[in-house]
Amino acid sequence: MTLALTAPRRARLDPSWPILIAFAAILIALIVLPMSWLAYFSVTDKTGALTLDNFAKLVTDPTFVDPLITTVILATSSAIICCVVAAPMGWLVARTDMPLRRTIRALVTASFVTPPFLGAIAWELLAAPNSGLLNQLYRGIIGDPGAEPLFNIYTLPGLIFVISCYTFPYVFVLVANALDRIPGDLEDASSILGGRMWVTARRVTIPLALPAVLAGALVAFLQAMTLFGSPAILALPAGFHTMTTKIWSLFQYPPKPELAAAASIPLLVLTVLLLRAEHMILGRRSYAVVGGKQSNPRLVQLGGWKWVALGLAMLVLMNPVFLPYGALLNAAFSRTASQFVSLTNFTLHNIEFVFFELSATKLAFKNTFILGFLSATIGTIIAVVISYLTARRAIAGWRALAFLATAPVAVPGIVLGVGLFLSYTRPPFVLYGTLWILLIAFVTIALPAAYQQLQAAFRTVSVDLEEASRILGATRLQALSHITAPLLRTSVIATWCFIFVGVIRELSAAIILFTSETKVISVLIFDLNESGDLGAIAVLGIIMLVITFAVVVAINRIPGFGGGVRFRS
Amino acid sequence: MPNLTRRTLLQGTAALGGAAFATRVLAAAPPAEPVTPALIEAARKEGKVVYYTSIDLPVAEKIAKAFEAKYPGIAVRTERSGAERIFQRIGQENSSNIHACDVANSSDAAHLIVWKRDGWLAPYLPEDVAKHYPAEHRDADGMFASFRVTLSVIAYNDTLVKAEEAPKSFADLLEPKWVGKIVKAHPGYSGTILTATYQMARDLGWEYFEKLARQRIMQVQSAADPPKKLALGERAVMADGAEYVVLQQHESGKPTTPVYAREGTPLIVGPNAVFKNAPNPNAARLFQSFCFSPECQQLIIETGGMRSVHAQAKDKPGRTPLKDIKVMKDDAAAVEKNSEEIKAHYTRIFRV
């Protein structure tokens, strides 16, 4: 595969056609090829003969049916919890005079960028039934060391809780952004006409925000359904599988890629159906943004209740941020991860181990940075070009490009991992064992969100400027690089950082595709968890978070992009 | 009875495998190889060695550091995972024509049979192995030798369980008082546990595991993890797991104590081998020699808590010597034949 993008500038010919073909080819390599292999493998047996046995096994074998049911329960519950928690919080932040609103947004961003698998490990430290710090505190408070645990994280409800912790930001941001954009005039009109606060909320605000809540529910459902790390960490000790862990287990010896391919199909189909449903419910776009000249929304005065609201918001944020980070810090410096740090058990051993003994550390960091940098750069370039071509409808076939760029949204990470594994472990393209295969995975996973962001950004730049440049003799590429690119700088940098952060926390595709030479930090942490090395995980996890926050803070320092991380709308 | 035919078929192929193992590959055993200055020099030119191993990570890294200290300029990169994962990884990498592994150590001795049969190993007989290792612990063709011997034991957290109340046998673990208090590792991940599961299913029957599954066990992956879960206080008792991690923790003041079950304790042999397509062939041989040297063997005993079959190795005082422990018979060839069935059977019983 070639990723060369440097179309010859001195050529007189407008190079848009070769570019279109090149990008279509890239997108086919990213998506069409792996999905085709996936479909092919799902209907073949070990000898390559066509069969439907894999699917028959899927619907009759309880070891497949149970995980499917578990996954649906898990995803539905998480989606509901996320909406119940995040929608009111989004409203509080966007529409009330609750104090510390910016801080709350920043903390939600922190929970968004926290890798869910790291959160799951931290919650093991907090709420494992016997050694969990919270359970120990509880037993200490009631003075009964033998009491039944207050929390047991190794259960389906425990898993739902942890997944919700790191999924609710999706709903929160969608709702808060939608409420930010609902013009205050509509609410003003309602109150001028005599509507009281509750009437206004019921007849104006809530209906306008509802599409965002629904969209959030769907995103949360999809996230919960396709996560791999959290269920692998919390469900397996409890003795049950979800679809993602089941698919992953089929890659253990003796590997059964045909069954893995077949087991991926339900996830794929469900995702496509849900995205269609979202599309139907929301129409072409959220009507929350409709409105002419916008006035700043009127903030609801909560009076004394604002402190209650702040308390509740902070209570919610304890779960994804304060408690887990505290548990990781504690484990990093404690001789035994389940004991609170004190003078007697304080240790720097874990830090020493990670930096001076663990020989995989350097390689994993190097790979992660190379992949983060390349994925972000290549992903941004692809997204810029495609969103330009589609936003300007610059060439025939732009619809197909737009479709291909958005299509990966429907492919869960682990399914993509399986597809890429099947495509690139055999000739003619043997990329397994190289960073390329991970690069393809990460770019593909990041592309839809990157494309959506930049597509939106392109709409804000008037086409007149480019046309002026072209009239003066510039080619399309020149117009793009001299006129449009500088205007879009902020969005482009934001997209780059967004992909970079996404790569650092990616586990579900990497876990299928890594080899010893191409290990990344997320996989290293997962490995360490399987052998129970919690101290080393805590240190690596904290480093990972520090890097992530440095990148997020850098985005927020860019002038004109102060709103925190934004994604799919 | 399709099940019966399938099993017969499985045994048929397995018998072939056994026959291949019995067949000598080379006409004569390779000569014993001393560590020569030329080997050290060639290894130093390669500059690194990649060690795929299922030894608990801190111990594996200590071996690596000891090698690096003895041979400066040759970096060891340890690739640690469960033996069954390592086996899958090496197989997958080989079939994609990736040769990343120099030396491998597996806690599932059956893997060495497969690798040797597939012609993936290089004959290399370190001097120590030739001189100081009993014949049953070295391959006749010099392809591998027993780097470590370990046990899969019962153990308990001695702040949560009084010694007199601790289980004394596998049967004791089935008592109602242990419901929800047991942690155990997984044979799909760990070679130690796969080997132990084979021996226990053979000697105690699968019914034992069916009853154990009703005790609401906590299922972890690595054999190194149950001792760590005991040390955390997360569970009171472990049904299986690495003795060497229990001993290390015990000796560093953590509250874990091993139990040598009345029925016998599963014995696990963990051989080392050099790969034929090793990317760093000289460093691989130097590292292999180092692994079997008295100093490395003493290291895995002293700080690793493992057992050695090197004739000069000395037990650490205070530990129960291997000869005083009733062990189950190890049988790598049988594990090789039944590995897939053991994993499938286990998954049916424990659901993951």
Token output for A4: 């060369």
Q: Confidence class of residue A1 from pLDDT cuts 50, 70 and 90?
A: very low
Which chain A residue's Cα is nearest to B75?
Answer: A359
| CA of B342 vs chain A CAs: smallest distance (Å) | 12
By C-alpha distance, the chain A residue nearest B254 is A336
- Extract the tokens encoding A455: 């597509």
Residue in chain B closest to A355 (alpha carbons) equals B61
Taking the Cβ of residue B224 and every Cβ of chain A, the question of whether any pair is shorter than 8 Å is answered with yes
CATH of domain B25-148+269-315: 3.40.190.10
The residue-averaged pLDDT of A367-376 equals 96
| pLDDT higher than threshold 50 for residue A471 | yes
**Using the beta-carbon criterion (under 8 Å), do B217 and A353 form an inter-chain contact?**
no
Tell me, yes or no, if B234 comes closer than 8 A to chain A by beta carbon: yes
d(CA A169, CA A83): 10
How far B130 CA sits from the closest chain A CA (Å)?
31
Mean pLDDT along residues A482-492: 82
The two structure tokens encoding residue A225: 């359904």
* A237/B58 CB distance under 8 A: no
The three-state secondary structure class of A349 is helix
Give yes or no for a contact between A341 and A327, defined as CB atoms under 8 angstroms apart: no
Residues 6+ apart with CB under 8 A from A362: none
Q: How far apart are CA A197 and CA A199, in angstroms?
A: 6
How far B72 CA lies from chain A's nearest CA (Å)?
A: 15
Three-class SS of B70-81 = HCCCCEEEEEEC
* B187 vs A: CB within 8 A: no
A62 interface with B at CB cutoff 8 Å: no
User: With 80 as the cut, is the pLDDT of residue A178 above it?
Assistant: yes
Residues of A with CB below 8 A from B350's CB? Answer: 239
Residue B32 contacts A where some CB pair is shorter than 8 Å = no
Contact A532 B222 (CB under 8 A): yes
Contacts with B228 from chain A: Cβ below 8 Å: 532-534
Domain with A238, as residue range(s), is 16-40+73-557
What DSSP string describes A445-482? HHHHHHHHHHHHHHHTS-HHHHHHHHHTT--HHHHIII
B98 and A433: CB-CB below 8 Å? Answer: yes
In the three-class reduction of DSSP (H, G, I as helix; E, B as strand; rest coil), residue A569 is classed as coil
> Is residue A167 situated within a structural domain?
yes
Sign of the alpha-carbon dihedral angle for B258, B260, B265, B267: positive
Indicate the SS3 state at residue A474: coil
Could you tell me if B111 lies within 8 Å of chain A, comparing CB atoms?
Answer: no
Contact list in A for residue B192 (CB cut-off 8 A) is none
| B219 in reach of chain A (CB within 8 A) | yes
- How far apart CA A428 and CA A36 sit, in angstroms, is 15
Q: What is the pLDDT of residue A397?
A: 75
Q: Give the sheet arrangement for strand B154-157, strand by strand.
A: B218-219, B182-184, B237-238, B154-157, B256-259
Does B340 contact A at CB distance below 8 Å? yes
Asked if A140 reaches chain B (Cβ–Cβ under 8 Å), the answer is no
Q: Do A239 and B91 touch (CB under 8 A)?
A: no
Report CB contact under 8 Å: A532, B220: yes
pLDDT for res A2: 42
Place A566 in a pLDDT band, splitting at 50, 70 and 90.
very low
Residue predicted with more confidence, A47 or B199: B199
Q: Nearest-CA neighbor of B263 among B209, B223, B208, B204?
A: B204
A253 neighbourhood in chain B, CB within 8 Å: 84-85, 87-88, 91, 188, 343
Domain assignment present for A508: yes
Q: Which residues in chain A have their CB less than 8 angstroms from residue B64's CB?
A: 359
- A482 occurs within a structural domain: yes
pLDDT at A61 over 80: yes
What does the radius of gyration of chain B's CA atoms come to, in whole angstroms? 20
Chain A residue numbers touching B92 (CB-CB < 8 A): 255, 425, 432, 515
State residue A486 phi and psi, 5-degree precision.
-60, -35
Calculate how close chain B gets to A455, using CA atoms only, in Å.
39
Please report whether residue A55 resides in a domain. no
CB contact under 8 A, B350 and A239: yes
Residue entry with tokens 């034992």: B208
As a whole number of Å, the end-to-end CA separation of chain A is 31
Collapsed DSSP state (helix, strand, coil) of residue A256: coil
A130, A154, A531 member nearest B222 (Cβ): A531
Which residues of chain B make contact with A363, given a CB cutoff of 8 A? 77
* Spatial CB neighbours of A204, under 8 Å, sequence gap ≥ 6: A186, A187, A190, A195
Q: Are strands B32-33 and B125-126 parallel, antiparallel or unpaired?
A: parallel
> pLDDT by residue (tens digit) across A373-421?
999 999 999 998 888 888 877 777 788 888 888 888 888 899 999 999 9
Tell me which amino acid residue A338 is: S
Residues of B in contact with A532 (CB under 8 A): 220, 222, 224-225, 228-229
Rg (CA), chain A: 25
Domains B25-148+269-315 and B151-267+336-350 share a fold: yes
Nearest to A531 among B64, B225, B340 (CB): B225
Task: Note whether B88 contacts A253, CB cutoff 8 Å.
Answer: yes
Q: Which candidate in B218, B254, B348 is best for mutational testing of the A interface (most A CBs within 10 A)?
A: B218
Contacts of A251 in chain B (CB under 8 A): 88
Residues in chain B within 8 Å Cβ distance of A254: 340
| Distance of residue B233 Cα from the nearest chain A Cα, in angstroms | 5
Residue A530: list chain B partners with CB under 8 A.
81-82, 189, 220-222, 225
Interchain CB contact of B62 with A (< 8 Å): yes
Q: Is the pLDDT reported for residue A248 higher than 80?
A: yes
Per-residue pLDDT of chain B (352 residues; tens, 9 = 90+): 344 343 333 333 333 333 334 455 556 778 999 999 999 999 999 999 999 999 999 999 999 999 999 999 999 999 999 999 999 999 999 988 899 999 999 999 999 999 999 999 999 999 999 999 999 999 999 999 999 999 999 999 999 999 999 999 999 999 999 999 999 999 999 999 999 999 999 999 999 999 999 999 999 999 999 999 999 999 999 999 999 999 999 999 999 999 999 999 999 999 999 999 999 999 999 999 999 999 999 999 999 999 999 999 999 999 999 999 999 999 999 999 999 999 999 999 999 9
Whether A288 maps to a domain, the answer reads yes
Of the candidates A128, A249, A533, which has its C-beta nearest B57's C-beta? A533
Q: What ipTM score was computed for the predicted complex, to two decimals? A: 0.90
- pLDDT tens track for A288-298: 444 444 566 77
pLDDT of residue A283: 64
pLDDT at A563 over 50: no
Which CATH architecture group holds B151-267+336-350?
A: 3-Layer(aba) Sandwich (3.40)
A516, B93: Cβ pair inside 8 Å? Answer: yes
The answer to whether the Cβ–Cβ distance between A363 and B56 falls below 8 Å is: no
* Helix, strand or coil, per DSSP, at residue A304: coil
Tokens matching residue A25: 């080819």
d(CA A43, CA B348): 25
Which of B50, B57, B209 is the best mutation test for A, with the most CBs of A within 10 A? B57
Which position has the higher pLDDT, B1 or A250? A250
**Where in chain B are the domains?**
25-148+269-315, 151-267+336-350
Range ranked top by mean pLDDT from A193-202, A398-407, A490-499: A490-499
Confidence band of A14 (pLDDT split at 50, 70, 90): low
The C-alpha atoms of residue B206 and residue B34 are separated, in whole angstroms, by 46
- Please list, in sequence order, all residues whose beta carbon lies within 8 angstroms of the beta carbon of residue B341, skipping any fewer than 6 positions away: B10
The 10s digit of each residue's pLDDT in A134-151 is 999 999 999 998 899 999
Question: Which residue, among A516, A517, A518, would best test binding to B if mutated, counting the most B CBs under 10 Å from its CB?
Answer: A516
Interface A-B: count of C-beta contacts within 8 A: 133
Of residues A453 and A69, the one with the higher pLDDT is A69
The count of other CB atoms within 10 Å of the CB of residue A184 is 15
Tell me if the bond preceding A428 is cis, omega within 30° of 0.
yes
- Judged by a CB distance cut-off of 8 A, whether residue A65 touches chain B is no
Cβ-defined contact of A357 to B347 (cutoff 8 Å): no
CA-based nearest residue in chain B for residue A154:
B218
Q: Which residues of B touch A338 (CB under 8 A)?
A: 232-234
Answer whether the bond into residue B258 is a cis peptide, omega within 30°: no
Q: Is B184 on the interface with A (CB under 8 A)?
A: no
Q: How many structural domains is chain A composed of?
A: 1
Q: Give dist(CA A525, CA A532) in Å, integer.
A: 10
Domain assignment present for A322: yes
| A15 — pLDDT class (breaks 50, 70, 90) | low
Q: Residue A209: which CATH number?
A: 1.10.3720.10
Interchain contact A420–B (C-beta under 8 A)? no
Nearest CA in chain B to A514: B89
> Is A372 in contact with A506 (CB distance < 8 Å)?
no
Instruction: Kindly report the length of chain B.
Output: 352
Output the CA angle B212-B213-B214, nearest 5 degrees.
90
